[in-house]
Amino acid sequence: MVSTRLSRLEGHRRKFMAVIDGTPECQRAVHYAGRRAKNSNGGLVLLYVIPEGDFQQWLGVEEIMRAEAREEAEAATAKAAQSVRENVGIDPEIVIREGSAAEQINAVIEEDRDIALLVLAAGSAKEGPGPLVSSIAGRAAAFPIPVTVLPDTLSNEEIDALS
């Protein structure tokens, strides 16, 4: 059960959330979410989840691995945020977490009660549409807010027309 969304109350605004995961399709999700946020006078949250990894190494190695993963997350989110600023004209919020993607998505949604829509994009790889989209289809990780899934065939121009 999700907490009541606050985005319609005075002093709040509806936020769209996109997940940065290094896949080509995440760029389309960010583009769409950014356009929707701008067109509705809303906000954009970019979430990067550092996967639960093999950080159980010797203490020094573990710290180095965590630092490298954090640097990678910061670089990826900074690049996505810069693209949104340049192409959409809004300044997104950046959230970086560590753990299971589905668990962290749900946690961020619960913590920020202005987030009203999760935007994902399907991939075109032969392995399938991507792990998050697959988890929704399999209902293994149903999310407590509406989810928009962009088809893998949409160009940026088509995304602009839809948003």
Tens digit of pLDDT for each residue in 8-36? 777 778 999 999 988 888 999 999 999 99
The per-residue DSSP string of 143-162 comes to: -SS-EEEE-TT--HHHHHHH
Q: Which has the higher per-residue pLDDT, 157 or 31?
A: 31
Q: Which two tokens stand for residue 97?
A: 């977490």
CA-CA-CA-CA torsion for 8, 13, 149, 29, nearest 10 degrees? 180
Rounded CA separation 136/35 (Å): 23
CB 145 within 8 A of CB 5: yes
SS3 104: helix
Each residue of 34-48: pLDDT tens digit? 999 999 999 999 999
The yes-or-no verdict on residue 128 having pLDDT over 60 is: no
SS3 5: coil
The yes-or-no verdict on residue 69 having pLDDT over 80 is: yes
The yes-or-no verdict on residue 131 having pLDDT over 90 is: no
According to DSSP H, which parts of the chain are helical?
A: 24-39, 59-87, 101-111, 131-137, 156-162
The yes-or-no verdict on residue 50 having pLDDT over 70 is: yes
